[in-house]
Amino acid sequence: MKTQIEQIDIHQIILRYEHTRVYKENSLNRLRRSMERFDQIAPVLVIPAPNKQFVLVDGYLRVKIAKMCGRDTVLGLIWVTKEQEALLSIIKNNDGRQWEIIEQASLLNDYVIRFKLNISQAAKQIGRDKSWVKRRLALVRDLPEDVLDALRSGHISAWSAARVLAPLARANKKHAQQLTSHLKNDPISTRQLKEFFNCYKKSNHLARSRMIEDPPLFLKASLFKKQEQQASELSEGLEGKWLRDMNTVRAILKRLRKNTVTVIYSGQEPSIRKRLVDALHQTQNIFKHLNEEVTSHDQAGNETGHKRDAKTRDVYKRNLQNTRSFKKHSTQGYQGQTQ
């Protein structure tokens, strides 16, 4: 591999793959402080291009910081090789760099398009299976451009893009764009976004539209509802939870009874029928044991209650008699103090 290091004029550098990079504000500030204090430590990686120019392969953040610092040149490692080979080395992560998933996906997408590769060819060259390549390409190709811009600028995280916005964009591009706009202006935590998207998936079209219009408002309402439910459960205690579970079981049993006609039928395959009937018998046994336990505790509780009531009545009578006797034999002055 033929290489050399030298100072390169920034105006000679072609930023062909700048759109594939993510620029986070904290990373920019950290690198700027480092460059202002210690100068440029690591060279950028470039390959020769026509007309005494160079294509920047790696080091876009360093070039951006150099411009921000008012510099005209950067220290560059010139790698005399083909552009495809240079990109392949970066994609395969031979330099040990920790890539954002969207950066890797974007660069892979450019690599496939620029060098006219199919999924199988790309997978073979980078040493990955085809499903991995498809997932990376889908991440870029499914997201609207404004969502990608927000991701590259660091306004939304790679997790948000991969786990929420990409699947949302496949189902409803407009909603993905609206949600991205909200996340840029009013960021929420990953946990909140996950909760929001889970609720979105379970909601009807009208509810989804209202959720997208104001995600923070929905999250506040959801939190308030959850707090009310927790307060109610705390107030009701274990008895309330037991009763709610029993109501749920009753509702399920009603649904099972309603579907019995279509589930158990004449000419049904014996193995399927056996599984269904066995499940019924197992459930019956559980209910039998539950009923026995409840009945046993209920009877024991009633007997204990009767004994406790009788004992309480006896104690009350003795106390009443002692009080009357005390009043009868007490002195008049002490009686006055007790009234």
The CATH classification number of 1-81 equals 3.90.1530.10
Tell me the pLDDT band of 322, cut-offs 50, 70 and 90. Answer: low
Tell me the pLDDT band of 80, cut-offs 50, 70 and 90. Answer: very high
The tokens for 297 are 């505790």
The tokens for 230 are 């927790």
Determine the pLDDT at residue 318: 63
Tell me the pLDDT band of 237, cut-offs 50, 70 and 90. Answer: confident
The sheet carrying 2-9 orders its strands as 2-9, 73-80, 44-49, 53-58, 13-14
3-state secondary structure of 214: coil
Map out the domains of the chain as residue ranges: 1-81, 265-294
Tell me the pLDDT band of 251, cut-offs 50, 70 and 90. Answer: very high
Average pLDDT over residues 278-289: 93
Determine the pLDDT at residue 332: 43
Determine the pLDDT at residue 101: 82
Average pLDDT over residues 110-138: 93
Least confident of 17-21, 76-80, 153-157: 153-157
**pTM confidence score:** 0.58
Residue 321 pLDDT more than 70? no
Higher pLDDT among residues 175 and 101, named by residue: 175
Determine the pLDDT at residue 193: 94
Contact 124, 112 (CB under 8 A): no
